[in-house]
Amino acid sequence: MGVRLSLETAAARGLGALSRAVGRGGGTTVPGKALWKLDPGAVDALARRLPEGTVVFSATNGKTTTTAMAAEILGGRRRLAWNRAGANLLSGIASALVSAGRADLGLFEVDEAALPEALERLQPRVLALGNLFRDQLDRYGELELVAERWRAAVERLPVDTTLVVNADDAVVADLADGRASALRFGLDDPRHARPHLQHAADSKYCLRCGTPYDFAAAYVGHLGDYRCPACGHARPALDVAARDIELRGLHASRFSLETAGGNRVIELRLPGLYNVYNAVAAASTALASGATLEEIRLGLKRFGAAFGRFERIAAGGKSIVLLLIKNPAGANEVVRTLEMGVPPVLVVALNDAIADGRDVSWIWDVDFEPLLEHVGLVIATGERAAELGLRMTYGGLPAERLEVIPSLERALDRGLGLVEAGTELVVLPTYTAMLSLRAILSERGAVRPYWDSTA
């Protein structure tokens, strides 16, 4: 078996190198697909070879950023097998295992729908779950269906697997109920709560009796400090908490990370409350994986941004800021963050490829209006630019402050031409639009490809 597996992984690595050489991508999934065809059990075997086992993270929002943060923390004294390019299906995980060489620890972000099979194959020592929001209904179905699949998968885990859950998400927190080895994280700073639950919030009703939850604090979508007024089901006590949160405009944030083992002040070079959630999730995952508080502090201080997620790219004396949007909850938080400094020109790119979700009706649940009131010009672009333009018009944006340019490249150049030297062009793309925009900028030499580990 050892010789066979070595031959199979060598062949898969060769295909990945060939894919990169001929310009067909970064080889982030091809080796895994090839290995899957050769031997479906190879993923299980490669995972078992890792001396420190595997750590898995899944969520609707924040998978790539949170896993990259955890990699920055854990990679200091461990060699990681990590799907750094965000290829989070089984083929991407297999590819990361193939290319890892003599890794000590596997660290994998996993797609929500792929999670049950990934858990069966990887048998992680730590499973961290961040949140469940409505997303890609054409692919996943309703949120409750994903939650049921997650619950069944968690119940099959070994008892010694540590489960790390976001206690602020009622559905996710409930998965750890009754488990001996669990770590619960969340935010505890009502100053940053929204004044009321947003209309697009998802998990509003008690898991036990169906009564609407009361929220002492609602931070992001339905994430917050909830309690059922009828049966008393409530957010569990936090093992890891972010308190004394300071949001410092569009460039940074700061908070106190408080645990049973001590506290640390975290300086983060990313803005927004949702990035505080990502950081606390990464810190909790790292804690469960053996990291010290000081390693966590230093790792998060070093961390910049995952590709396309508040990524700043220099372009001809100006900067392009890419902020991925993919569903109402995530997009609303991006809007909330931009309200700290509304850009004069905003490019919004909407695609409807399979990886984005064919159903783009979610844009009507995004509260764009606070931006539209103050922005100078919105450029709607992408495969569904016309629908996006219509949404902006219904949101009150006057015709003279809207341009619809379906070509991503032309829209990008138009936006860059309108902002002054030394300033930033803010771009809100969906997933495949973000990849296409980065490919355009990569061809121009402004940024390395997203799969390049030196990027």
* Interval 344-363 mean pLDDT: 94
Give the pair of three-digit tokens for residue 257. 């990370």
Query: CB-based burial of residue 279 (10 Å sphere; 0-12 exposed, 13-18 middle, 19+ buried)?
Result: buried
The C-alpha angle 60, 435, 351, rounded to 5 degrees, equals: 70
* Interval 96-115 mean pLDDT: 92
Q: What is the CA radius of gyration of the chain?
A: 22
Give the residue, 245 or 102, on which the prediction is more confident.
245
The answer as to CATH 3.90.190.20 being correct for domain 310-452 is yes
Give the pair of three-digit tokens for residue 273. 């409350």
Q: Give per-residue pLDDT as tens, 76-97.
A: 899 999 999 888 988 889 888 9
Give alpha helix (H) positions in 290-395: 293-302, 328-338, 369-372, 385-394
pLDDT band at 3 (very low <50, low <70, confident <90, very high): very low
Give the pair of three-digit tokens for residue 11. 């062949």
CA 82 to chain CA centroid, Å, is: 15
Residues in the chain: 455
Give alpha helix (H) positions in 167-217: 170-174
Residues 6 or more apart from 139 whose CB is under 8 A from it? 113, 354, 357
Cα–Cα distance measured from residue 125 to residue 130, given in angstroms and rounded to the nearest whole number: 17
Cα–Cα distance measured from residue 359 to residue 387, given in angstroms and rounded to the nearest whole number: 12
Q: Give per-residue pLDDT as tens, 44-75.
A: 888 999 999 999 999 999 999 999 999 999 99
pLDDT score recorded for residue 35: 64
pLDDT band at 28 (very low <50, low <70, confident <90, very high): low
**Domain edges within the chain:** 18-302, 310-452
Give the pair of three-digit tokens for residue 180. 């001996």
The answer as to CATH 3.20.20.140 being correct for domain 18-302 is no
Residues 6 or more apart from 249 whose CB is under 8 A from it? 271, 340, 341
Mean pLDDT of the chain: 89
* Interval 417-430 mean pLDDT: 94
Nearest by Cα to 317 from 421, 412, 420: 421
Q: Give per-residue pLDDT as tens, 111-152.
A: 999 999 999 999 999 999 999 988 655 455 578 889 999 999
Give the residue, 357 or 298, on which the prediction is more confident.
298
Q: Tokens 């919004």 correspond to what residue?
A: 348
The answer to whether 237 touches 244, Cβ cutoff 8 Å, is no
Q: Which residues pair with 241 in a beta bridge?
A: 186, 258
Q: Over 60: is that where the pLDDT of 359 sits? A: yes
Q: Over 50: is that where the pLDDT of 18 sits? A: no
Cα–Cα distance measured from residue 293 to residue 205, given in angstroms and rounded to the nearest whole number: 35
pTM: 0.89
- Amino acid type, 230: A
pLDDT score recorded for residue 69: 98
Give alpha helix (H) positions in 308-407: 328-338, 369-372, 385-394
Cα–Cα distance measured from residue 96 to residue 366, given in angstroms and rounded to the nearest whole number: 35
The mean-pLDDT minimum among 48-57, 234-243, 299-308, 445-454 falls in 445-454
Q: Give per-residue pLDDT as tens, 309-328.
A: 889 999 989 999 999 999 89
